[in-house]
Structure 1
Amino acid sequence: TGRTAALILIFALVTFLIILTSNNSEEPFNYRELKLKYTNPPNIRKWLLQDGYISVSGNKTLHPKCNSCVIVTSSSHLLNTDLGPKINQAECIIRMNDAPTTGYEKDVGNKTTFRVVAHSSVYRVLRRPQEFLSRFPGQTLIFWGPPNKMQQGSKSNMYHIIQRASSAFPNVSAFVVSPRNMGRFDELFRAETGRDRAKSHSWLSTGWFTMVIAVELCNNVHVYGMVPPNYCSKRQRKMPYHYYEPKSPDECITYIQNEQGRRGNHHRFITEKLVFARWAPVYNITFSHPEWLDDIETESI
Protein backbone atom coordinates (compact mmCIF):
# COMPACT_ATOMS: atom_id res chain seq x y z
CA THR A 1 0.00 0.00 0.00
CA GLY A 2 0.95 3.64 -0.28
CA ARG A 3 1.24 4.00 3.50
CA THR A 4 3.59 1.03 3.75
CA ALA A 5 5.77 2.42 0.99
CA ALA A 6 5.90 5.79 2.74
CA LEU A 7 6.93 4.17 6.03
CA ILE A 8 9.65 2.17 4.29
CA LEU A 9 10.93 5.35 2.64
CA ILE A 10 11.00 7.22 5.96
CA PHE A 11 12.79 4.32 7.67
CA ALA A 12 15.39 4.19 4.89
CA LEU A 13 15.95 7.95 5.09
CA VAL A 14 16.40 7.89 8.88
CA THR A 15 18.80 4.94 8.60
CA PHE A 16 20.81 6.79 5.96
CA LEU A 17 21.06 9.90 8.15
CA ILE A 18 22.20 7.84 11.14
CA ILE A 19 24.90 6.15 9.06
CA LEU A 20 25.96 9.47 7.56
CA THR A 21 26.25 11.09 11.00
CA SER A 22 28.18 8.12 12.37
CA ASN A 23 30.62 8.14 9.47
CA ASN A 24 31.19 11.88 9.76
CA SER A 25 31.94 11.52 13.46
CA GLU A 26 34.61 8.96 12.75
CA GLU A 27 36.44 11.31 10.40
CA PRO A 28 39.36 13.34 11.83
CA PHE A 29 38.28 16.74 13.17
CA ASN A 30 40.21 19.89 12.22
CA TYR A 31 40.29 21.82 15.47
CA ARG A 32 41.74 24.85 13.64
CA GLU A 33 38.28 25.45 12.16
CA LEU A 34 37.06 26.55 15.58
CA LYS A 35 37.12 30.33 15.27
CA LEU A 36 36.97 31.58 18.83
CA LYS A 37 37.77 35.01 20.21
CA TYR A 38 38.42 35.91 23.81
CA THR A 39 37.79 39.32 25.36
CA ASN A 40 39.52 40.18 28.64
CA PRO A 41 38.76 36.96 30.52
CA PRO A 42 38.86 37.36 34.30
CA ASN A 43 41.67 36.04 36.49
CA ILE A 44 40.18 32.92 38.06
CA ARG A 45 42.50 33.14 41.06
CA LYS A 46 40.88 36.44 42.04
CA TRP A 47 37.43 34.91 42.37
CA LEU A 48 36.06 34.86 45.91
CA LEU A 49 35.46 31.29 47.03
CA GLN A 50 33.31 32.47 49.94
CA ASP A 51 30.34 33.44 47.77
CA GLY A 52 30.90 30.84 45.09
CA TYR A 53 30.06 27.64 46.94
CA ILE A 54 27.19 27.00 49.34
CA SER A 55 27.81 24.59 52.19
CA VAL A 56 25.31 21.76 52.41
CA SER A 57 26.91 20.26 55.51
CA GLY A 58 26.87 22.90 58.24
CA ASN A 59 28.42 26.35 58.24
CA LYS A 60 31.60 25.56 56.29
CA THR A 61 33.65 27.56 53.81
CA LEU A 62 35.62 26.26 50.86
CA HIS A 63 39.21 27.48 51.26
CA PRO A 64 42.26 27.19 49.01
CA LYS A 65 44.40 24.64 50.79
CA CYS A 66 46.65 22.90 48.27
CA ASN A 67 49.94 23.94 46.77
CA SER A 68 49.94 21.02 44.34
CA CYS A 69 46.94 19.11 42.94
CA VAL A 70 46.32 16.35 40.46
CA ILE A 71 43.15 15.92 38.43
CA VAL A 72 42.46 12.27 37.66
CA THR A 73 40.19 12.22 34.63
CA SER A 74 37.83 9.38 33.74
CA SER A 75 39.71 8.61 30.53
CA SER A 76 40.60 5.10 29.41
CA HIS A 77 44.06 6.46 28.59
CA LEU A 78 44.84 5.83 32.25
CA LEU A 79 44.45 2.06 31.94
CA ASN A 80 47.70 0.06 32.16
CA THR A 81 49.73 3.12 33.17
CA ASP A 82 50.58 1.97 36.73
CA LEU A 83 50.13 5.59 37.85
CA GLY A 84 48.29 4.68 41.05
CA PRO A 85 51.23 4.96 43.50
CA LYS A 86 52.34 8.28 41.98
CA ILE A 87 48.82 9.70 42.11
CA ASN A 88 48.45 8.64 45.75
CA GLN A 89 51.55 10.67 46.65
CA ALA A 90 49.95 13.93 45.49
CA GLU A 91 49.05 16.56 48.06
CA CYS A 92 45.47 16.90 46.80
CA ILE A 93 43.65 14.55 44.42
CA ILE A 94 40.60 15.66 42.42
CA ARG A 95 38.21 13.23 40.72
CA MET A 96 35.02 13.66 38.74
CA ASN A 97 31.46 12.34 38.87
CA ASP A 98 31.14 8.61 39.55
CA ALA A 99 34.63 7.54 38.47
CA PRO A 100 35.49 4.70 40.91
CA THR A 101 38.83 3.68 42.33
CA THR A 102 37.94 0.16 43.51
CA GLY A 103 39.42 -2.30 41.04
CA TYR A 104 41.47 0.40 39.31
CA GLU A 105 43.87 1.36 42.12
CA LYS A 106 46.93 0.27 40.13
CA ASP A 107 46.25 2.89 37.47
CA VAL A 108 44.28 5.69 39.17
CA GLY A 109 45.18 5.39 42.87
CA ASN A 110 42.74 5.06 45.73
CA LYS A 111 42.77 8.44 47.50
CA THR A 112 40.43 11.38 46.95
CA THR A 113 40.53 14.93 48.33
CA PHE A 114 37.90 16.60 46.14
CA ARG A 115 35.23 15.16 43.86
CA VAL A 116 33.35 17.41 41.43
CA VAL A 117 29.91 16.00 40.60
CA ALA A 118 27.44 17.09 37.90
CA HIS A 119 23.72 17.18 38.66
CA SER A 120 23.27 14.30 36.22
CA SER A 121 25.65 12.11 38.26
CA VAL A 122 24.32 12.86 41.76
CA TYR A 123 22.24 9.69 42.05
CA ARG A 124 25.00 7.47 40.67
CA VAL A 125 27.36 8.80 43.35
CA LEU A 126 24.94 8.67 46.27
CA ARG A 127 23.73 5.16 45.38
CA ARG A 128 27.22 3.85 46.16
CA PRO A 129 28.15 5.40 49.52
CA GLN A 130 30.75 2.73 50.26
CA GLU A 131 32.64 3.71 47.11
CA PHE A 132 32.22 7.47 47.09
CA LEU A 133 31.47 8.64 50.64
CA SER A 134 32.63 6.43 53.50
CA ARG A 135 35.95 5.39 51.88
CA PHE A 136 37.43 8.88 52.01
CA PRO A 137 36.81 10.63 55.36
CA GLY A 138 37.71 14.29 55.10
CA GLN A 139 37.04 14.57 51.37
CA THR A 140 35.03 17.41 49.86
CA LEU A 141 32.27 16.93 47.29
CA ILE A 142 31.36 19.87 45.05
CA PHE A 143 28.07 19.54 43.15
CA TRP A 144 27.15 21.70 40.17
CA GLY A 145 23.98 22.06 38.16
CA PRO A 146 21.14 24.39 37.14
CA PRO A 147 20.13 26.59 40.11
CA ASN A 148 16.50 25.52 39.72
CA LYS A 149 17.60 21.98 40.60
CA MET A 150 20.46 22.47 43.01
CA GLN A 151 19.36 25.18 45.44
CA GLN A 152 17.51 24.94 48.73
CA GLY A 153 13.84 25.71 48.21
CA SER A 154 13.81 24.67 44.56
CA LYS A 155 11.05 22.39 43.28
CA SER A 156 13.61 19.67 42.69
CA ASN A 157 14.47 17.57 45.74
CA MET A 158 18.08 17.09 44.62
CA TYR A 159 19.46 19.59 47.15
CA HIS A 160 17.66 17.84 50.00
CA ILE A 161 18.93 14.45 48.86
CA ILE A 162 22.50 15.78 48.94
CA GLN A 163 21.81 17.34 52.33
CA ARG A 164 20.54 14.06 53.81
CA ALA A 165 23.53 12.15 52.43
CA SER A 166 25.86 14.75 53.89
CA SER A 167 24.22 14.42 57.31
CA ALA A 168 24.69 10.64 57.18
CA PHE A 169 28.43 11.07 56.50
CA PRO A 170 29.56 14.01 58.69
CA ASN A 171 33.23 13.42 57.85
CA VAL A 172 32.51 14.43 54.25
CA SER A 173 32.05 18.11 53.35
CA ALA A 174 29.52 18.92 50.63
CA PHE A 175 29.06 22.13 48.64
CA VAL A 176 26.91 23.20 45.70
CA VAL A 177 27.98 25.87 43.22
CA SER A 178 26.00 29.02 44.01
CA PRO A 179 23.67 30.57 41.40
CA ARG A 180 25.98 33.58 41.21
CA ASN A 181 28.96 31.35 40.53
CA MET A 182 27.07 29.35 37.89
CA GLY A 183 26.68 32.68 36.09
CA ARG A 184 30.41 33.30 36.48
CA PHE A 185 31.26 29.96 34.88
CA ASP A 186 29.02 30.84 31.92
CA GLU A 187 30.51 34.31 31.61
CA LEU A 188 34.03 32.88 31.77
CA PHE A 189 33.20 30.56 28.85
CA ARG A 190 31.82 33.49 26.85
CA ALA A 191 34.85 35.67 27.62
CA GLU A 192 37.27 32.89 26.69
CA THR A 193 35.54 31.79 23.48
CA GLY A 194 33.28 34.60 22.28
CA ARG A 195 30.37 32.17 22.43
CA ASP A 196 27.26 32.27 24.57
CA ARG A 197 26.84 28.84 26.12
CA ALA A 198 23.04 28.88 26.24
CA LYS A 199 22.57 30.32 22.74
CA SER A 200 24.90 27.68 21.31
CA HIS A 201 22.74 24.94 22.87
CA SER A 202 25.55 23.56 24.99
CA TRP A 203 26.32 22.64 28.57
CA LEU A 204 29.64 23.26 30.23
CA SER A 205 31.28 19.94 31.02
CA THR A 206 32.28 18.65 34.44
CA GLY A 207 35.85 18.97 33.16
CA TRP A 208 35.33 22.73 32.76
CA PHE A 209 34.04 23.10 36.31
CA THR A 210 36.79 20.85 37.66
CA MET A 211 39.57 22.77 35.93
CA VAL A 212 38.32 26.12 37.20
CA ILE A 213 37.86 24.79 40.74
CA ALA A 214 41.37 23.29 40.65
CA VAL A 215 42.83 26.65 39.63
CA GLU A 216 40.93 28.30 42.48
CA LEU A 217 42.14 25.79 45.07
CA CYS A 218 45.66 24.92 43.89
CA ASN A 219 48.85 26.72 42.93
CA ASN A 220 49.94 23.94 40.55
CA VAL A 221 47.74 21.44 38.71
CA HIS A 222 48.75 18.20 36.97
CA VAL A 223 46.05 16.60 34.80
CA TYR A 224 46.21 12.88 34.06
CA GLY A 225 44.43 11.32 31.08
CA MET A 226 42.99 14.35 29.27
CA VAL A 227 43.69 14.34 25.53
CA PRO A 228 44.79 17.62 23.87
CA PRO A 229 42.45 19.60 21.60
CA ASN A 230 44.22 18.42 18.44
CA TYR A 231 44.05 14.72 19.40
CA CYS A 232 41.07 13.90 17.18
CA SER A 233 42.55 15.81 14.24
CA LYS A 234 44.20 12.53 13.28
CA ARG A 235 42.49 9.18 12.98
CA GLN A 236 43.00 7.46 16.34
CA ARG A 237 42.45 3.91 17.50
CA LYS A 238 39.14 3.48 19.27
CA MET A 239 39.26 4.16 23.00
CA PRO A 240 36.36 3.84 25.48
CA TYR A 241 35.28 7.23 26.81
CA HIS A 242 35.54 6.04 30.46
CA TYR A 243 38.17 3.75 31.97
CA TYR A 244 35.52 2.08 34.10
CA GLU A 245 33.08 1.46 31.22
CA PRO A 246 34.82 -0.67 28.58
CA LYS A 247 31.71 -0.55 26.38
CA SER A 248 31.29 3.21 26.59
CA PRO A 249 31.32 5.15 23.29
CA ASP A 250 34.58 5.89 21.52
CA GLU A 251 36.11 9.08 22.88
CA CYS A 252 36.83 10.85 19.57
CA ILE A 253 33.35 10.09 18.25
CA THR A 254 31.95 11.50 21.51
CA TYR A 255 34.08 14.65 21.30
CA ILE A 256 33.33 15.34 17.64
CA GLN A 257 29.58 14.66 17.89
CA ASN A 258 29.34 17.02 20.86
CA GLU A 259 31.45 19.70 19.20
CA GLN A 260 29.38 19.61 16.02
CA GLY A 261 25.96 19.21 17.67
CA ARG A 262 23.63 22.15 17.04
CA ARG A 263 20.35 20.87 18.47
CA GLY A 264 19.76 19.76 22.00
CA ASN A 265 22.37 20.22 24.70
CA HIS A 266 25.95 19.21 24.02
CA HIS A 267 29.36 19.70 25.60
CA ARG A 268 31.97 21.64 23.62
CA PHE A 269 34.80 19.38 24.75
CA ILE A 270 37.33 20.39 22.08
CA THR A 271 36.60 24.09 22.52
CA GLU A 272 37.14 23.73 26.26
CA LYS A 273 40.46 21.95 25.72
CA LEU A 274 41.67 24.80 23.52
CA VAL A 275 40.98 27.16 26.41
CA PHE A 276 42.79 24.82 28.82
CA ALA A 277 45.83 24.86 26.51
CA ARG A 278 45.95 28.64 26.78
CA TRP A 279 45.49 28.49 30.57
CA ALA A 280 48.36 26.03 31.03
CA PRO A 281 51.25 28.55 31.25
CA VAL A 282 49.11 31.13 33.06
CA TYR A 283 47.90 28.88 35.88
CA ASN A 284 50.75 26.33 36.08
CA ILE A 285 48.79 23.44 34.53
CA THR A 286 50.57 20.41 33.05
CA PHE A 287 49.07 17.45 31.19
CA SER A 288 50.30 13.90 30.81
CA HIS A 289 49.12 10.48 29.63
CA PRO A 290 48.93 11.79 26.98
CA GLU A 291 51.37 14.68 27.16
CA TRP A 292 50.32 17.98 25.60
CA LEU A 293 52.98 19.32 23.23
CA ASP A 294 53.72 23.00 22.67
CA ASP A 295 52.56 22.98 19.04
CA ILE A 296 48.85 23.35 19.89
CA GLU A 297 47.60 26.43 18.06
CA THR A 298 45.63 28.69 20.39
CA GLU A 299 46.19 32.02 18.70
CA SER A 300 42.83 31.72 16.93
CA ILE A 301 41.02 32.00 20.22
Structure 2
Amino acid sequence: ELLFQSLSLHCRQCALVTSSSHVVRVVAHSSVFRVVRKPAEFLNRSESPAIIFWGPSTKIGRDAKGTLYRLIQRVSMTYSNLSFFFISPGKMQRFDTLFQKETGRDRKKSQSWLSTGWFTMVIAIEMCDNIKVYGMVPPNHCGKRPQPKRLPYHYYKPRGPDECVTYLQNERGRRGSHHRFITEKQVFARWAKQYNIRFNYFTRFYCVNKNYVNCNS
Protein backbone atom coordinates (compact mmCIF):
# COMPACT_ATOMS: atom_id res chain seq x y z
CA GLU A 1 0.00 0.00 0.00
CA LEU A 2 1.10 3.54 -0.65
CA LEU A 3 1.70 5.58 2.47
CA PHE A 4 -0.64 8.56 2.58
CA GLN A 5 0.75 11.36 4.69
CA SER A 6 1.11 15.12 4.56
CA LEU A 7 4.20 16.67 3.02
CA SER A 8 5.82 18.86 5.64
CA LEU A 9 8.71 20.76 4.09
CA HIS A 10 10.00 24.29 4.48
CA CYS A 11 12.89 25.81 2.52
CA ARG A 12 14.55 29.21 2.58
CA GLN A 13 15.57 29.09 -1.08
CA CYS A 14 13.92 27.14 -3.91
CA ALA A 15 14.66 26.81 -7.62
CA LEU A 16 11.75 26.14 -9.94
CA VAL A 17 12.94 24.90 -13.32
CA THR A 18 10.27 24.59 -15.98
CA SER A 19 9.82 21.13 -17.52
CA SER A 20 12.17 19.84 -14.83
CA SER A 21 12.73 20.25 -11.08
CA HIS A 22 15.07 19.66 -8.15
CA VAL A 23 14.33 17.72 -4.94
CA VAL A 24 10.55 18.06 -5.27
CA ARG A 25 9.13 17.00 -8.62
CA VAL A 26 5.51 17.70 -9.53
CA VAL A 27 4.08 15.25 -12.06
CA ALA A 28 0.74 15.35 -13.88
CA HIS A 29 -1.30 12.16 -14.13
CA SER A 30 -0.78 12.29 -17.91
CA SER A 31 3.01 12.09 -17.45
CA VAL A 32 3.20 9.09 -15.12
CA PHE A 33 4.13 6.69 -17.92
CA ARG A 34 6.93 9.02 -19.10
CA VAL A 35 8.40 9.07 -15.59
CA VAL A 36 8.32 5.28 -15.36
CA ARG A 37 9.85 4.78 -18.82
CA LYS A 38 12.86 6.98 -17.98
CA PRO A 39 13.68 6.35 -14.31
CA ALA A 40 17.31 7.40 -14.75
CA GLU A 41 16.18 10.87 -15.80
CA PHE A 42 13.23 11.41 -13.49
CA LEU A 43 13.79 9.22 -10.43
CA ASN A 44 17.54 9.12 -9.83
CA ARG A 45 18.44 12.83 -9.86
CA SER A 46 18.47 13.38 -6.11
CA GLU A 47 19.41 11.41 -3.02
CA SER A 48 16.02 11.80 -1.35
CA PRO A 49 13.54 13.33 -3.78
CA ALA A 50 9.86 13.84 -3.13
CA ILE A 51 7.50 13.36 -6.04
CA ILE A 52 4.05 14.94 -6.01
CA PHE A 53 1.40 13.60 -8.38
CA TRP A 54 -1.66 15.60 -9.32
CA GLY A 55 -4.72 14.67 -11.30
CA PRO A 56 -8.39 13.69 -11.04
CA SER A 57 -9.14 11.45 -8.08
CA THR A 58 -10.78 9.04 -10.52
CA LYS A 59 -7.33 8.35 -11.99
CA ILE A 60 -4.84 8.56 -9.13
CA GLY A 61 -6.92 8.86 -5.97
CA ARG A 62 -6.73 6.49 -3.01
CA ASP A 63 -10.02 4.84 -3.99
CA ALA A 64 -9.42 4.78 -7.73
CA LYS A 65 -7.33 1.60 -7.80
CA GLY A 66 -6.95 2.17 -11.53
CA THR A 67 -4.00 1.62 -13.84
CA LEU A 68 -2.14 4.78 -12.83
CA TYR A 69 -2.62 4.17 -9.12
CA ARG A 70 -1.30 0.62 -9.41
CA LEU A 71 1.62 1.79 -11.55
CA ILE A 72 2.64 4.43 -9.00
CA GLN A 73 2.26 1.81 -6.28
CA ARG A 74 4.69 -0.53 -8.07
CA VAL A 75 7.19 2.28 -8.62
CA SER A 76 7.04 3.21 -4.92
CA MET A 77 7.97 -0.37 -4.03
CA THR A 78 10.86 -0.40 -6.51
CA TYR A 79 12.28 2.99 -5.50
CA SER A 80 12.06 2.84 -1.74
CA ASN A 81 14.33 5.89 -1.46
CA LEU A 82 11.59 8.09 -2.94
CA SER A 83 8.71 9.75 -1.16
CA PHE A 84 5.45 9.81 -3.10
CA PHE A 85 2.61 12.24 -2.48
CA PHE A 86 -0.77 12.91 -4.09
CA ILE A 87 -2.69 16.17 -4.11
CA SER A 88 -5.92 15.39 -2.28
CA PRO A 89 -9.35 16.11 -3.85
CA GLY A 90 -9.91 18.87 -1.29
CA LYS A 91 -6.60 20.48 -2.16
CA MET A 92 -7.36 20.15 -5.88
CA GLN A 93 -10.56 22.13 -5.28
CA ARG A 94 -8.57 24.84 -3.51
CA PHE A 95 -6.32 25.15 -6.57
CA ASP A 96 -9.48 25.72 -8.65
CA THR A 97 -10.78 28.30 -6.19
CA LEU A 98 -7.47 30.16 -6.26
CA PHE A 99 -7.55 30.23 -10.07
CA GLN A 100 -11.03 31.79 -10.02
CA LYS A 101 -10.02 34.31 -7.35
CA GLU A 102 -6.97 35.44 -9.33
CA THR A 103 -8.47 35.43 -12.84
CA GLY A 104 -12.21 35.90 -12.36
CA ARG A 105 -12.78 32.70 -14.36
CA ASP A 106 -14.52 29.60 -13.15
CA ARG A 107 -12.10 26.90 -14.25
CA LYS A 108 -14.73 24.37 -15.30
CA LYS A 109 -17.12 26.82 -16.95
CA SER A 110 -14.27 28.43 -18.90
CA GLN A 111 -13.07 24.96 -19.96
CA SER A 112 -9.66 25.63 -18.46
CA TRP A 113 -7.27 22.92 -17.31
CA LEU A 114 -4.66 24.00 -14.79
CA SER A 115 -1.08 23.36 -15.88
CA THR A 116 1.60 21.53 -13.92
CA GLY A 117 3.30 24.93 -13.70
CA TRP A 118 0.31 26.27 -11.73
CA PHE A 119 0.45 23.41 -9.24
CA THR A 120 4.23 23.65 -8.92
CA MET A 121 4.23 27.42 -8.36
CA VAL A 122 1.54 27.30 -5.68
CA ILE A 123 3.26 24.40 -3.90
CA ALA A 124 6.58 26.30 -4.03
CA ILE A 125 4.94 29.41 -2.56
CA GLU A 126 3.59 27.34 0.31
CA MET A 127 6.97 25.73 1.05
CA CYS A 128 9.58 28.36 0.18
CA ASP A 129 10.59 31.77 1.51
CA ASN A 130 12.29 32.75 -1.76
CA ILE A 131 11.83 31.27 -5.23
CA LYS A 132 14.02 31.57 -8.31
CA VAL A 133 12.25 30.48 -11.49
CA TYR A 134 14.32 29.44 -14.51
CA GLY A 135 13.13 28.97 -18.07
CA MET A 136 9.65 30.48 -17.72
CA VAL A 137 9.13 33.24 -20.28
CA PRO A 138 7.07 36.36 -19.37
CA PRO A 139 3.36 36.67 -20.30
CA ASN A 140 4.04 38.95 -23.30
CA HIS A 141 6.82 36.80 -24.76
CA CYS A 142 4.81 35.35 -27.66
CA GLY A 143 3.39 38.72 -28.68
CA LYS A 144 6.76 40.37 -29.27
CA ARG A 145 7.85 41.73 -32.65
CA PRO A 146 9.86 40.38 -34.29
CA GLN A 147 8.51 37.04 -33.16
CA PRO A 148 10.72 35.01 -30.81
CA LYS A 149 12.93 32.28 -32.21
CA ARG A 150 11.11 28.97 -32.53
CA LEU A 151 11.70 26.74 -29.52
CA PRO A 152 10.12 23.40 -28.58
CA TYR A 153 7.41 23.43 -25.93
CA HIS A 154 9.28 20.73 -23.97
CA TYR A 155 13.08 20.59 -23.86
CA TYR A 156 12.98 16.78 -24.01
CA LYS A 157 11.00 16.86 -27.28
CA PRO A 158 13.21 18.96 -29.59
CA ARG A 159 11.01 18.10 -32.57
CA GLY A 160 7.81 18.64 -30.65
CA PRO A 161 5.30 21.50 -30.98
CA ASP A 162 6.47 25.10 -30.92
CA GLU A 163 6.33 26.82 -27.55
CA CYS A 164 4.49 29.98 -28.64
CA VAL A 165 2.08 28.11 -30.92
CA THR A 166 1.18 25.88 -27.97
CA TYR A 167 0.72 28.83 -25.61
CA LEU A 168 -1.45 30.83 -28.01
CA GLN A 169 -3.60 27.92 -29.17
CA ASN A 170 -4.34 26.93 -25.59
CA GLU A 171 -5.01 30.49 -24.46
CA ARG A 172 -7.49 31.10 -27.28
CA GLY A 173 -9.06 27.64 -27.41
CA ARG A 174 -12.79 27.44 -26.72
CA ARG A 175 -13.65 23.89 -27.75
CA GLY A 176 -12.64 21.26 -25.26
CA SER A 177 -10.42 21.93 -22.25
CA HIS A 178 -7.21 23.91 -22.58
CA HIS A 179 -4.36 25.12 -20.42
CA ARG A 180 -4.36 28.90 -20.00
CA PHE A 181 -0.60 29.31 -19.93
CA ILE A 182 -0.51 33.05 -20.61
CA THR A 183 -3.22 33.80 -18.04
CA GLU A 184 -1.30 31.78 -15.46
CA LYS A 185 1.93 33.65 -16.26
CA GLN A 186 0.12 36.96 -15.73
CA VAL A 187 -0.90 35.76 -12.27
CA PHE A 188 2.66 34.62 -11.50
CA ALA A 189 3.97 38.05 -12.50
CA ARG A 190 1.59 39.68 -9.98
CA TRP A 191 2.72 37.28 -7.29
CA ALA A 192 6.42 38.03 -7.85
CA LYS A 193 6.86 40.80 -5.27
CA GLN A 194 4.28 39.44 -2.85
CA TYR A 195 6.00 36.06 -2.56
CA ASN A 196 9.66 36.88 -3.30
CA ILE A 197 9.70 35.25 -6.75
CA ARG A 198 12.37 36.07 -9.32
CA PHE A 199 12.06 34.96 -12.93
CA ASN A 200 15.22 34.25 -14.91
CA TYR A 201 15.21 33.25 -18.55
CA PHE A 202 17.88 33.19 -21.22
CA THR A 203 17.77 34.66 -24.68
CA ARG A 204 20.47 33.83 -27.20
CA PHE A 205 22.90 36.39 -25.84
CA TYR A 206 21.95 37.43 -22.35
CA CYS A 207 20.06 36.62 -19.20
CA VAL A 208 16.94 38.59 -18.33
CA ASN A 209 15.51 38.85 -14.84
CA LYS A 210 11.91 40.02 -14.59
CA ASN A 211 12.60 41.71 -11.26
CA TYR A 212 15.66 43.41 -12.75
CA VAL A 213 18.05 41.66 -10.39
CA ASN A 214 21.42 40.33 -11.51
CA CYS A 215 20.80 36.84 -12.89
CA ASN A 216 23.97 35.57 -11.23
CA SER A 217 22.79 36.55 -7.78
Greater RCO between the two (CA within 8 Å, min separation 6)?
1
Question: TM-score, normalising length from structure 1?
Answer: 0.65
- The Cα of 1:131 is off from its aligned counterpart by 2.4
Q: Which one has the largest radius of gyration? A: 1
- Choose the corresponding residue for 1:72, options 4, 7, 17: 17
Specify the SS of the correspondent of 1:263.
coil
Superposed counterparts of 1:135-174, under 5 Å: 135-154=45-64, 156-174=66-84
Q: Is the 8 A contact 2:199 2:211 kept in 1?
A: no
Superposed counterparts of 1:1-301, under 5 Å: 57-58=2-3, 60-74=5-19, 95=21, 112-154=22-64, 156-234=66-144, 235-290=147-202, 291-293=208-210
Higher helix share: 1
Q: Is the 8 A contact 2:198 2:210 kept in 1?
A: no
Counterpart AA for 2:7? L
Distance 2:177 2:38 in 1: 27
Counterpart AA for 1:249? P
Provide closer, same or farther for how the CA distance between residues 266 and 59 of structure 1 changes in structure 2, counting only shifts above 3 A: closer
Identity over aligned residues, as a percent?
57
Q: Is the 8 A contact 1:150 1:158 kept in 2?
A: yes
1:133-160 per-residue CA deviation (whole Å, 9 max, x = no partner) reads: 2443310000000111111221523122
1:33-72 per-residue CA deviation (whole Å, 9 max, x = no partner) reads: xxxxxxxxxxxxxxxxxxxxxxx74354311221100011
- The Cα of 1:292 is off from its aligned counterpart by 4.9
Specify the SS of the correspondent of 2:158.
strand
Counterpart AA for 1:287? F
Distance 1:169 1:132 in 2: 12
Flag structure 2 segments of 5+ consecutive residues without an equivalent: 203-207, 213-217
Q: What is the aligned partner in structure 1 of residue 215 from structure 2?
A: none
Q: Is the 8 A contact 1:227 1:292 kept in 2?
A: no
- The Cα of 1:242 is off from its aligned counterpart by 1.7
Q: Is the 8 A contact 1:71 1:222 kept in 2?
A: yes
